[in-house]
Amino acid sequence: MTRLSWFNVTSLTLGFAFLYLPMVILIIYSFNASQLVTVWAGFSTRWYGELLQNEAFLDAAWVTIKVAVLSSTIATVLGTMAAYVLVRAGRFLGRTLFSGMIYAPLVMPEVITGLSLLLLFIGIGLDRGVLTIVLAHTTFSMCYVSVVVSSRLMSFDRSLEEAALDLGCSGFDAFRLVTLPIIAPAVISGWLLAFTLSLDDLVIASFAAGPSATTLPIKIFSAVRLGVSPEINALSTIMIGIVTVGVISASLISKHRTLRQRQEEQAAARAA
């Protein structure tokens, strides 16, 4: 089954064209000299230049990155704890409620999550700004982190932790010295996921943000509601570029690592 039938080739081609053509068109037209977004008037980086002059966008980008770094870091700590509790802590009072609260945000419509958080912030009189966005993002992204980490925790051999305890580690040391290094890749991908979720989020941020802090998605959304603009195309291209480079290099690193591990295993097998 090494050769694909024409049917399969067609589905792959059409499928991936569907997934990627819109982004390709967007990228091409971000280099369009014309103000009119659908008429090609020659190559230009004019819109990138204008984008860099646009203070409002730059401010929003800065806020977005701050929020993303903060919220994804807190979410990773909390999510890893939650995953450990789910997989390892056994039974405790309210465990069902706990796991319900972990899984519910994954399927909750963003409008509801956003609305409920906003009502809470107003209820307790918290001023809306960077802090409230961080709190909101941490809450939903910790659930994603905990799902990623707990699936790794479930697949790993519990006897490793038991061996550490047997050799005299305290519970926390066993976690720090044995569990954490092993689940580290899952924790890192959890952080990356939380980071991109935060960068990406429009709806929840719209509810949680106040006049003092605006994130990039909120800015983009209010701009594109008025229609397509070449400046937004340029901004999108930059964002797509960063993500693409990030994802591809991450996958190359992990591929390289598995390859090296396999080579080392083979070398060890030969030496034996």
Residues 154-193 that bind another protein (CB under 8 A): 171-172
CB 70, min distance to another protein, A:
15
Residue among 13 and 45 whose Cβ is closer to another protein: 13
| Nearest residue to 75 (alpha-carbon basis) of 220, 172, 199, 171 | 199
Q: Name the one range near another protein by CB under 8 A: 42-50, 54-62, 137-145, 176-184.
A: 137-145
Q: Name the one range near another protein by CB under 8 A: 49-57, 130-138, 159-167, 180-188.
A: 130-138
| Nearest residue to 215 (alpha-carbon basis) of 134, 140, 95 | 134
CB 79, min distance to another protein, A:
8
Q: Name the one range near another protein by CB under 8 A: 159-167, 181-189, 194-202, 260-268.
A: 194-202
Sites for another protein among residues 26-65 (CB under 8 A): 26, 29, 37-38
Among 41, 52, 119, 267, binds another protein (CB under 8 A): 119
| Nearest residue to 51 (alpha-carbon basis) of 228, 246, 230, 259 | 230
DSSP letters along 81-122, please?
A: HHHHHHHHS---TTHHHHHHHHHHHHHS-HHHHHHHHHHHHH
| Nearest residue to 242 (alpha-carbon basis) of 202, 272, 211, 200 | 200
Q: Name the one range near another protein by CB under 8 A: 14-22, 55-63, 155-163, 178-186.
A: 14-22
Among 142, 148, 186, 194, binds another protein (CB under 8 A): 142
98 is a contact residue toward another protein (CB under 8 A): yes
Sites for another protein among residues 248-267 (CB under 8 A): 248, 251, 255
Among 61, 71, 179, 217, binds another protein (CB under 8 A): 217
Half-sphere exposure of 215 (CA within 13 A, CB side): 28
Residue among 33 and 81 whose Cβ is closer to another protein: 81
Q: Residues 6 or more apart from 205 whose CB is under 8 A from it?
A: 67, 114, 133, 136, 137, 215, 217, 218
The Cα diameter of the chain in Å comes to: 72
**Which residue bears the tokens 């061996």?**
163
Q: Name the one range near another protein by CB under 8 A: 42-50, 52-60, 84-92, 158-166.
A: 84-92
| Nearest residue to 134 (alpha-carbon basis) of 75, 205, 198, 71 | 71
Q: Name the one range near another protein by CB under 8 A: 54-62, 177-185, 246-254, 259-267.
A: 246-254
131 is a contact residue toward another protein (CB under 8 A): no
Among 33, 69, 135, 169, binds another protein (CB under 8 A): 135
Residue among 213 and 234 whose Cβ is closer to another protein: 234
82 is a contact residue toward another protein (CB under 8 A): yes
DSSP letters along 192-256, please?
A: HHHHHHHHH--HHHHHH--TT---HHHHHHHHHTT---HHHHHHHHHHHHHHHHHHHHHHHHHHH
